[in-house]
Structure 1
Amino acid sequence: MDSLTTYLEKHVLPIANKLSTQRHLHAIRDAFISLVPVTLFGGICTILSSAPAVEPGSNFLLEAWANFAAANSTLLTWANTMTMGALSVYIALGVTYFLCKHYKIDAFIPLVLTMGGFLLICFGPVELGWDAKTADILYLDGKGLLVAIFLSILTVEGYRAMREHNVGRIALPPSVPASLSEAFASLIPGIIILAVDTAIFAIFNSMGTTLPAFIYTNLAPVFNATDSLGFAAIATLLVQFFWFFGVHDAALSGVLGPIRDGGLSVNAAAQAAGEALPNIFTTPFWVYFVVIGGCGSVLALAILLIRSKSKQLRTIGRVGIVPAFFNISEPIIFGVPLMMNPMFFIPFLLTSTVNAIIAYVCMMTGLVAKTFALLSWNMPCIFGAYLSTFDWKAVVLVVALIAIDALLYYPFYKAYEKQLVAQEEADETSAETA
């Protein structure tokens, strides 16, 4: 174990640390994290519009809910479409903002250019008459995420490069206000960027499609591969592996975030339309069914710790169980500790990975409904599992997964407990004889 740790610290962890600080991945991660109000509101609208079917007079509250959903169907669907269903728009703006923040450049003009480019490239014109304009907005949701991310990155990088090299800069006298001078300095770079966006639209419009439609259609096998049992298991294993060696799961969220949130956005739109949900590997799947209690699935371990014979572990369990209930694992990870502790290497990797495999199979086979809403990443998993699926069997699944996690942790926990109890008894004996 020591030789493996040394090898990983020398060869693997530097790469992971670079990934976690890479500016583009960092901007993507921050963009997804900052969109909690949008995803929360969209999730609430989706839940409200998904009232269960009830017989008249059988249940007053459920019947009132169903009547409300029916009477406000258009309102709720539109609200969801313009929030969670327009995820690509917000991600494009978020990545642009955080990348500008990294470069310490004013974000307003790049944000406008990104928005203009997104409208040009991702909207498909249907009718452009003088009295009416109709566009296809099918790719505003998770299906347009790939284009949104690359468009925002290219816009900021192109704008920054042209400004640094004074491309097309118009010299104005010192008496001109700074705001006007800044606008003229951005004039040519802005025109060039929007001209490129227009050219991209023209190319794909001549083919009878749009860029996101072309990508989504032709890369469908790739998207399907990311929503597979194998991908879910490997992605989970990698996240737990890096966390064990001190690399926070946020390091990989720049890569996994678009996949998980994109799948959720598509599922939310399908739920609102009354269609079958296509994706399993989504953000609520990850939060409520995979990392139960936070990375390392520590809720089960926290439950074991509160009855520990070791004073140290018992104290950590009592302190850490409430945060773990709300999917915050750091008190347990750093308190036991789990991180860099060879005793817990196997269960730390296995628990969440086993959760991912079991939950994926249950949803793939239809035993448990798929997820379509995320209310909060720190909502207790039992409540989140039900509200994200509207399936009581999801709650049973989470309880079963917690029990399985406890079984996986138990032998390693008992071995570690035995060591600590012996050490505590030795310390007490030495204190008495002193």
Structure 2
Amino acid sequence: MNTWFNDKLLPAVMKFVNTRPLQAIKDGMLYPIPFIVIGAIFLILGNFPWAPVANFMTHTGLAAVCNQAYNGSMAIMAVFAVFGIAYSWVRNEGYEGVPAGLLAIVVDIILQPDTIKTVTSVVDSTKTSTSWMVSNVIDKQWLGGKGMIVAIIVGLLVGWAYSWFMKKGITIKLPEQVPSNVAASFTALVPGAVIVTAAAIVYAIFNLGFGTTFVEWIYKVIQTPLQHATDGPVGVIIVSFIPVFLWFFGIHGATIVGGIMTALLLANSADNNALYRAGELSLDHGAHIVTQSFMDQYITVTGSGITIGLVIFMLVRAKSVQMKTIGKLEIVPALFNINEPVLFGLPIVLNPLLAIPFILTPVLSGFLTYFAILFKIIPPFNGVYVPWTTPPIISGLMVGGWQGALWQLLMLAMTVVVYWPFAKKYDQILSAQEQASSTDNASA
């Protein structure tokens, strides 16, 4: 199996992973993360889950301030994504990427509607006001989760087109005496003019021909179906099985799957977050089950494979020197969701005995969590982005309240049960090897 994987499957996987588009998406999607984290903090403060604090924040006006900080950061994640993807593509081609990133933002805005056709205001808990039309505006909803797929498409197309102009030398070249920053602005002029013109033509086709916009069409035809596809058993398999399967062969599966799935998972999170802020976070109101929090806090918590159960065995019952030593080294990193010492030091990579619980555990956690939300045992996650290094229980509390923290604790306890018999058997193997080695050394 190892030979087949290394000779057949691994080259194909790595060829796909190293393609320019996937590299641009993987690198570009890192740029929104700091602003998502910052916005998530203000989101929690502005919508605090404890009534006394929430009332204080509302009455003092601090909630509005926090929400405004959220609106300028996490709520416009697609802007950072479209910049990052185009920038990463062009930079990886060896050219200055900032003009391409800014150009991608321009194109993204052009392809959006400039009119909010319906605005609904809440009068009281049972009534809403009449809607009206607002023109000559940028509708912020397309700058956030609802615009993530368009951000990816625009980022990739602008990155590719801008790089093509650079490679062909179709730019304005100024004398060497001209300052580099001035020359760079003129270098982007020709490709920028062509790309903006193309974007305007696309806008005209959709607006005049179909009475919609490109971003609305993409959301309806592509993004919504993809979000629904990931928000079911297929999505659970993708985020729980594929990463650990790749990790078994030494490939960073979480990075690969995250690079592909992050945009959709963040879009699902953004939808949940909007419901959470409106006080309507439930499946009945369209909340998603599989979100970024679903993956980060219940699939890769304590590291890929949820290896905390294995670490606990190594600390309390292991007899082999190797297991006891690695357990002591790993316990602190595990609290921050880092488990490379176990993956490569024990190892789990290419270890068929430990591969069984390593693959089984996140799949069990994924489907148990999925059905727990589906059957309303715990609520959907609130869409708050929690940094992946946040310790367990705390992260569960932040994304799902006390129910999320308790469920996370139950899933961590489950890992002990799953890992224990396999870890015990492997410990016996290591102990036997260590005893044989010490006997040989004594004989020598």
TM-score, normalised with respect to structure 2? 0.88
Q: Tell me the residue number matched to 2:25.
A: 28
Q: Tell me the residue number matched to 1:60.
A: none
Question: What is the CA deviation profile of residues 45-78 of structure 1, one whole-angstrom value per residue up to 9, with x for unaligned ones?
Answer: 2212223464xxxxxxxx1443214533433333
User: Does 2:266 correspond to 1:261?
Assistant: yes
Q: Give runs of aligned pairs for residues 50-199 of structure 1, distance below 5 A.
A: 50-52=47-49, 54=51, 63-70=52-59, 71-126=61-116, 133-167=136-170, 169-170=171-172, 176-199=178-201
Change (3 A) 1:175 1:14: closer
User: Does 2:236 correspond to 1:227?
Assistant: no
Change (3 A) 1:190 1:426: same
Q: Please tell me the residue identity of whatever aligns with 1:384.
A: S
Q: Tell me the residue number matched to 1:336.
A: 346
Is the 2:248–2:348 Cα contact (8 Å) retained in structure 1? yes
Q: Tell me the residue number matched to 2:302.
A: 293
Q: Tell me the residue number matched to 1:303.
A: 312
Distance 2:310 2:86 in 1: 40
Distance 2:268 2:331 in 1: 30
User: Does 2:393 correspond to 1:382?
Assistant: yes
Taking only the aligned residue pairs, the percentage that are identical comes to 28
Is the 1:77–1:272 Cα contact (8 Å) retained in structure 2? no
Q: Please tell me the residue identity of whatever aligns with 2:41.
A: I
Q: Tell me the residue number matched to 1:273.
A: 278
User: How much has 1:264 moved relative to structure 2?
Assistant: 1.7
Is the 1:87–1:265 Cα contact (8 Å) retained in structure 2? no
Distance 1:126 1:398 in 2: 41
Select between 65-74 and 280-289 the one with higher mean Cα deviation. 65-74
Is the 2:227–2:268 Cα contact (8 Å) retained in structure 1? no
Q: Tell me the residue number matched to 1:210.
A: 213
Structure 2 portions without partners, runs of 5+: 118-133
Q: Please tell me the residue identity of whatever aligns with 2:57.
A: F
Change (3 A) 1:333 1:95: same
Distance 2:182 2:238 in 1: 52
Question: What is the CA deviation profile of residues 160-217 of structure 1, one whole-angstrom value per residue up to 9, with x for unaligned ones?
Answer: 11222233x4465565555444433432211110011111222222233222211222
Question: What is the CA deviation profile of residues 261-314 of structure 1, one whole-angstrom value per residue up to 9, with x for unaligned ones?
Answer: 222222223322333252222222111111221111111111111121111101
Distance 1:289 1:176 in 2: 55
Q: How many residues align?
A: 418
Distance 2:434 2:35 in 1: 50
Is the 1:126–1:136 Cα contact (8 Å) retained in structure 2? yes
Q: Tell me the residue number matched to 1:59.
A: none
Is the 2:309–2:420 Cα contact (8 Å) retained in structure 1? no
Change (3 A) 1:204 1:21: same
Q: Tell me the residue number matched to 2:368.
A: 358
User: How much has 1:340 moved relative to structure 2?
Assistant: 0.5
Distance 2:173 2:235 in 1: 54
Q: Tell me the residue number matched to 1:7.
A: 4
Distance 1:64 1:361 in 2: 32
Q: Please tell me the residue identity of whatever aligns with 1:49.
A: G
Is the 2:297–2:392 Cα contact (8 Å) retained in structure 1? yes
CA RMSD of aligned residues (A): 2.2
Q: Tell me the residue number matched to 2:122.
A: none
User: How much has 1:231 moved relative to structure 2?
Assistant: 2.0
Q: Tell me the residue number matched to 1:419.
A: 429
Distance 2:177 2:308 in 1: 64
Q: Tell me the residue number matched to 2:293.
A: 284
User: How much has 1:428 moved relative to structure 2?
Assistant: 2.3
Structure 2 residue corresponding to 1:37, chosen from 26, 34, 37? 34
Distance 2:58 2:294 in 1: 25
Bigger relative contact order, structure 1 or 2 (CA pairs below 8 A, ≥6 apart)? 1
User: How much has 1:376 moved relative to structure 2?
Assistant: 1.2
Distance 1:64 1:409 in 2: 41
Distance 1:46 1:395 in 2: 19
User: How much has 1:229 moved relative to structure 2?
Assistant: 2.4
User: How much has 1:122 moved relative to structure 2?
Assistant: 2.6
Is the 1:49–1:272 Cα contact (8 Å) retained in structure 2? no
Distance 1:178 1:43 in 2: 38
